[in-house]
Every structure is written in C-alpha cells, then in structure tokens.
Structure 1
Amino acid sequence: MSSSFDKFQKRKLISSYFSVVLSIALVLFLLGLLGLLVINANKVANHFREQVTVTIYLKDTAKDIEIKQLEKSLAIADYVKSTNYVSKEQAAEILKAENGEDFMQFLGFNPLQNSIDINLKADFVTSEKLEEISKDALSKNFVAEVSYDNDLVNLMNDNVRKISFWVLLLSGIFTLIAVLLINSSIRLSVYSKRFTIKTMQMVGATKRFIRWPFILNSIKLGIIGAIIALIGMGFVLYYIDKTFPELTLLTNQVYLIALFAGVFLLGILITWFSTFLATQRFLNLKTDQLY
C-alpha cells in the first residue's frame, strides 16, 4: 500500500515538474520570438524601404558620356544603395515577358526610354529626399522624367511608426504576462508541498533552510525550460534566415547573443523570485490557514 502511494506521489511530482517546465519553456519561447521581432523590426522595415525604386527616364538625345557621368555620380552618392541602367531594348524585353506579347509588332517601333533605376538607403526613403533627388535629376537637360511612388513611401513610413509603437507596447504587456504565468506555475508547485514546509518549520528549521531547496529546484526547472525555449528560438531563426536570406537576421550576432542570454537569465530570475515569494507566503501562514 505504501509502495503504491509512493509511486503515485512520484508520478504526481513528475507531472507537476513537467507542467512547470512546459509553462516556462512556452512562455520564454514566445517572449524570445517577440524579442527577435523587436531586434529585427527596424531591419525588416529598412529592407522594405530599400525596395522602393526611383526611375530616371532619359531622353533619346542623351549622350553616352552624359549617362555614364550620371550613373557614376549616383553610384558614389551617400544616399544611394544601388543603381541599374536599363536600356530601352531591355525594358521592351521585360515588358514583353510580363505581358506575354510583343507590343513592338503592333507599333512597329520601341516607344520606351532608356532609364536608370535607383534604390536608396533606408534612412533616405522619405518624401523630402525623393523630391530633392527628383529636382536634382530634372535639372539636367537630358533627363525626361523621374518616377517614384510617393504615396507608397508615405504609407510605408506611417505604418513603420505605428508598428514600432505597437511592438514595443506588446513587448511590455507580454513580458508582464510571462512573469505572471511562470509565477502562477511555480506557486502551484510550491502549494502542493505547503504541509511539508510547515512540518519542517514546526521542527525548528529556519526559513532560509526551508526555502533554499525549493529555490534551487525551481532554478533547475527554469534552466531546463529556458534551454528548451532557446532551442526552439534557434530553429525558428534558422528557418526564417533560410527562407528570407535577404533579411540577414544572423548578422546581428551581438544582439542575438544578448537576447539568448537574456531569455536564459530571465528563466532563472523569474523562477527564483516566484519561488521566494511562494515559499515566503506559506512560511508566514498559520497551520489552520493551510487548509
């Protein structure tokens, strides 16, 4: 009978530990993913900003030396990320591939213009800077037109500001929820041993002596949960980097190491603090209050 009861208690204890570890791992995993989002939010936003293309259309009378000088001046400009010269023949081939038909057969000539596509660095993708670039290019007599989507730029910048605000707000809220959830799991684990705590106290054990094994055990569970969460974060980070290599998520190694270390330490600190509070509460209860 005693053996069966011991086995039951052992299974119950293992189940309790498993639920605590799982809770810690899931919460820290989600918190870590949110941390990854916060760290890379600016990089993702910059990636999309740098996809905005400014197209400078050139007149047919433009000389090769003028075009090359314009390309060279744009290439060395501090606000330009990349430039690409597109001849009218290349533009015709691109349009033909997109539409699936050769429009030149109907027109009998190529109405398109030679052009230079510019991609700006993220910090310079603003309406003011685009307007400045446009005016500078149009001041040259061989430039026919400058084209870019100003509405898209304004919409993108507005959305980036809004998303940044909500990401920071959600980070704070989710961190609080994470602490509360882990604290709840730890308290339930300690609650199941409240009679053991009171018995030890009644035979003369000090609060520090009683509290330490619980804290040490919870820290071990926190470490296990944090390691599981970090493994999950590593898999997600690897998958995203392979799927979207242009985001170069793995280049911010200092931030990533800091985030992983932060998640690991958070798992230890939350479990330590929660266990301290939970054991302190039961240590201060009277015997009749345990029921």
Structure 2
Amino acid sequence: MESKARKKRKLGSYPLVSVVFSISLSLLVIGMFGMILLHANKLTRVIQENIEVQVYLNKNITDSEVTKISRSLGAMPYVLQKEDNAEVRLVTKEEAAEQFIEDTGEDFTQFLGDNPLRDLLVLNIEPAYQPTDSLRWIQSEIAAINGVYEVSYVESLVESINSNLTKIGAFLLGFSIILLLVVVILINNTIKLALFSQRFLIRSMQLVGATGRFIRTPFLVRAIWYGAISGLLASGVLYSLLMYANEKIEDLSSLQDERMMLLLFGSLVILGILVGFLSTFRAVRKYLKMSLDELY
C-alpha cells in the first residue's frame, strides 16, 4: 500500500488511460473532418478539371492547320496539363456525326446530302483560369486565331460551379477553425483536470527548493509521450475507418492522395504533442504561481 501511494505521488505522473483516451478522441474528430476536407478538395479539383471550352474550326480546314492550332492551344498556360500532356482533344466532324446518329438513331446525312458539322477542339481549362472574366478573355483570344470559327462554353454552369465552390469553401474553412478551437479547449481542459491531483505535490517540491524548470520537466516529457501516443492511436483508427469506407463506397479511393493522407496522420501526431505540451506547461505554471489558499 505504501509503495502504491508513493507511485501515485511521483512527480509528473497522472492518469494514462483517461488522458490518452480523451486526447485520442478529440484528435480523431478533427482527423475525420480533415479527411472530409481532403476528399472535398480532390472532388473540387475533379469537377474543375472537367470544365471545357469548345473551339469550332472553319469548314474545309486542312489537317495540318488543325494540328497547328491544336499544338498552339496546347502550349497556352490556361490549358490543363496532366502528366506533361495538354488536355486538348480533337473531335472530327465525322466522329461527331457518328455520335449524333448513335444517340438519336437518325442519319441526317441521308436527307441533307452532306455533313454540316465542324471539326471541334475540346480544351480542359486550368482551375486558376476559370473565373468568369478569365474565361471570357480566353474565349476572345482563341476566337482571334486564324481558322477558328467559334468558341463557346456553358457560362451559366461555370458561374454556378464557381459560386457553389466558393460558398462551400467558406463554410468548411469557418467550421474547421471552430472545430480546431473546440478540440484544443477539450484537450487543454483534460490535461488541466489530470494535473489537478498533482497541485499539492508541486507545492511540496517548491517548499523544498525545487526550481520551476525541475518541476515542469517530468510533466512536459509525459505530455509529449501522451500526445504522440494519442496521435498514433487516432491515426490508426482513422486509417481503419478509411479502409472500411473504401471497401463499402465504390471509387472512393480515386479521391485519395496517399501523400496528403500521410501528411494528415503526421499532423495529428504533431498536434497531439504540441497541444499536450502547451496545455501542460500552462497548467503547471498556473499551479506554481498559486498560493496555498488558492490550491485548497
């Protein structure tokens, strides 16, 4: 019994399971929201990468002229690049006619006697150039190229996408800030309550001449360990939930970036260590400055 009592009174010791559980749960909540943000960001990128500008070419244009225009547009900074390849796609008038006949079941060339469609270049636009003013500038610049008949895009769709993405981004940013503050407060209060039982031991160490640094060190070391363990536990649970979700939701893995996921898990560990360290430092400093009456 006496050895157990001495163990409880050891400087820097406070409950492991309850503190780690509370911190891990808080980090798990913020980790899940961070996972949602990463998926939303990737989905936003996919949506933006599918915004297209259609460039209709003049009739009777030669293949060499089409190639020249295609290469010229592919070198433009506003054209999306994937794996060092410009996202410029050629749809010939023959291909367009075949697609129309397949979709409608009617062969318009039989009663028209000719194919009235034009060769088409489809450009995917870089997200940075998707504001309305930029797209209008792109439209006028491409229209001035020799051999281009018309340039068009669905302006109402682009404006709707940009407006909705802006609103969603603002909401997620505000909610993430609030959630981060709540998590920090919860972890801070958890550690403060855990250290409450140590306040008289801290006072006793002061009375025998121990310096503030000597008293704080064991608490801070343990806080670092607790924060690291909590971050690892939260990351492990989050990874397990992610793998389960990938099995249940089709194509969810296509929205995941392995590098960003590892960065998120590392951030949880660092956040647990940082918040635990700072909260412990503040709590110990508070008890060091308290008078005996205030401790009671």
TM-score by structure 2 length?
0.70
Corresponding residue for 2:154?
149
Q: Which residues of structure 1 form unaligned runs of 5+?
A: none
Per the alignment, in what secondary structure is the counterpart of residue 157 of structure 2?
helix
CA apart distance, 1:55: 1.3
Counterpart of 2:232 (choices 227, 239, 257) is 227
8 Å contact from structure 1 (residues 55, 146) kept in 2: yes
1:264 aligns with 2:263: no
Determine the C-alpha separation between the residues in 2 that align with 1:16 and 1:251. Answer: 35
Paired residue secondary structure (2:122): strand
Matched, 1:243 2:213: no
Give the distance between the partners of 2:145 and 2:282, measured in 1 at CA.
73
Residue aligning to 1:71: 70
Quote the offset at 1:232 in angstroms. 4.7
Instruction: After superposition, give the CA deviation of every residue in 1:165-198 in whole Å (9 maximum; x if it has no partner).
Output: 4444444333322221110110121123445445
Q: Structure 1's 211 and 70: CA in aligned 2 closer, same or farther, altered over 3 A?
A: closer
Q: Is the 8 A contact 1:17 1:189 kept in 2?
A: no
CA distance in 1, matches of 2:178, 2:140: 46
Q: Are the equivalent residues in 1 in contact too, given 2:91–2:119 (CA < 8 A)?
A: yes
In structure 2, do the counterparts of structure 1 residues 195 and 251 end up closer, same or farther at CA, with 3 Å as the change threshold?
closer
AA paired with 1:63? T
Task: Indicate yes or no: 2:129 matched with 1:124.
Answer: yes
- The letter for the 1-side match of 2:180 is T
Cα deviation code 1:130-179 (max 9, x no counterpart): 33343344446754432211122233334444444444444433332222
Pair 1:248–1:281, CA change in 2 (3 A): closer
Report Cα offsets for 1:26-74 as digits up to 9, x if no partner.
3334445656677887765444322111112345433333323322322
Which of 251, 270, 277 is matched with 2:282 structurally? Answer: 277
Alignment match of 2:190 (pick from 185, 189, 198): 185
Quote the offset at 1:125 in angstroms: 2.2
Distance in 2 (CA, whole Å) between partners of 1:203 and 1:133 is 77
Match of 2:140 among 135, 141, 147: 135
Supply the distance in 1 between the matched residues of 2:106 and 2:18 (Cα, whole angstroms): 67
Tell me, what secondary structure is at the counterpart of 2:151?
strand
Distance 1:49 1:211, change over 3 A: same
How far apart, CA to CA, are the structure 2 residues paired with 1:269 and 1:187?
15
- Percent identical among aligned pairs is 34
Normalising to structure 1: TM-score of the pair? 0.71
* Structure 1 counterpart SS, 2:105: coil
Structure 1 equivalent of residue 20 of structure 2: 21
RMSD: 4.2
Name the stretch that deviates more: 69-78 or 191-200.
191-200
Assess if the C-alpha contact under 8 Å between 1:57 and 1:115 holds in 2: yes
Which residue of the partner structure matches residue 56 of structure 2? 57
1:257-290, Cα deviation, whole Å (9 max, x unpaired): 5x65554333222212212222333444455555
